[in-house]
A and B are shown apart, each in its own frame.
Chain A
Amino acid sequence: ELKVEQNPLFLSMQEGKNYTIYCNYSTTSDRLYWYRQDPGKSLESLFVLLSNGAVKQEGRLMASLDTKARLSTLHITAAVHDLSATYFCAVDPLLKTSGSRLTFGEGTQLTVNP
């Protein structure tokens, strides 16, 4: 069974600081997605990572994928309050034996304080 683990699950940081969210997964895959969810809202697509070494950046967020280590990171640079949200990573396994199209991590609840 595919497992996707994120850490930390809760992150409180000050504006202007940097931090990294980690996403580990248990099966071979080179399809990893990052989503953002604001309270009471749906999921917003942030990044699609499709190969080993892939790096994508958008504003203060940068995501990377290491398929050999089965690890993706979401790096936050100089955080601002608007980044407060829950961030999910999701893996699409190469093999369909898990029966799942996307398996999500538990989510990281990020709070950026002034």
Chain B
Amino acid sequence: KAGVTQTPRYLIKTRGQQVTLSCSPISGHRSVSWYQQTPGQGLQFLFEYFSETQRNKGNFPGRFSGRQFSNSRSEMNVSTLELGDSALYLCASSFGRGAGDTQYFGPGTRLTVL
């Protein structure tokens, strides 16, 4: 069974630009969550999508947005990039939202903002 895939794996952008990251969950998984990992702040939750609806949102500015498609694939978008947005962005999928639904993480997208 294929794991969570994320594209692209690496991105270099400049301040002010926008970026779109893509995540394909494990087949059959309907919940997709996004996390940001930085050396200073650690792993922080961005948002969660289930059945094309945002179910939870972390404490990030409105420049960070996302969506989920009918095939459960998800995208996240960051507009007006800032230097502090440089991070590893991890996508995780789970079958559902229940207690036993482990989140499986993708390889991540490394975003560098210059």
Which residues of A approach B to under 8 Å, CB–CB?
A: 30-31, 33, 35, 41-45, 48, 50, 88, 90, 92, 96, 99-107
Task: Report A-chain residues with C-beta under 8 Å of the C-beta of B100.
Answer: 48, 50
A43's contact among B58, B99, B105, by CB below 8 Å, is which? Answer: B105
Task: Report A-chain residues with C-beta under 8 Å of the C-beta of B106.
Answer: 42
Q: How many whole Å from A81's CB to the nearest CB in chain B?
A: 24
Report yes or no: B48 in contact with A45, Cβ–Cβ below 8 A: no
Task: Report A-chain residues with C-beta under 8 Å of the C-beta of B33.
Answer: 101-102
Report yes or no: B103 in contact with A102, Cβ–Cβ below 8 A: yes
Q: How many whole Å from A57's CB to the nearest CB in chain B?
A: 17
Q: How many whole Å from B80's CB to the nearest CB in chain A?
A: 23
- Which of B35, B92, B102, B103 has most A Cβ within 10 Å? B103
Chain B interface size, as a band, is 20 to 34
Report yes or no: A99 in contact with B59, Cβ–Cβ below 8 A: yes
Report yes or no: B56 in contact with A41, Cβ–Cβ below 8 A: no
- A67–B22 Cα distance when bound, in Å, is 36
Task: Report B-chain residues with C-beta under 8 Å of the C-beta of A90.
Answer: 43
Task: Report A-chain residues with C-beta under 8 Å of the C-beta of B105.
Answer: 35, 42-45
Main secondary structure of the interface of B (DSSP, over half): strand
* Closest residue on chain A to residue B107 by CB atoms: A42
Closest 9 CB pairs of A and B: A104-B43, A43-B105, A100-B45, A42-B105, A101-B48, A42-B107, A45-B102, A101-B56, A50-B99
Q: Mark B76-97, 1 if CB is under 8 A from A, else 0.
A: 0000000000000010100000
Tell me whether A101 and B45 are in contact in the complex, defined as CB-CB below 8 angstroms, given that A33-B102, A42-B107, A43-B90 are known contacts: yes
Task: Report A-chain residues with C-beta under 8 Å of the C-beta of B42.
Answer: 104-107
CB of B104 within 8 A of chain A?
yes
Report yes or no: B90 in contact with A100, Cβ–Cβ below 8 A: no
Task: Report A-chain residues with C-beta under 8 Å of the C-beta of B108.
Answer: 42
Report yes or no: A99 in contact with B57, Cβ–Cβ below 8 A: yes
Can you report 12 residue pairs joining A to B where beta carbons are below 8 Å apart? A33-B102, A42-B106, A42-B108, A50-B99, A99-B57, A100-B45, A101-B48, A101-B103, A103-B45, A104-B43, A104-B44, A107-B43
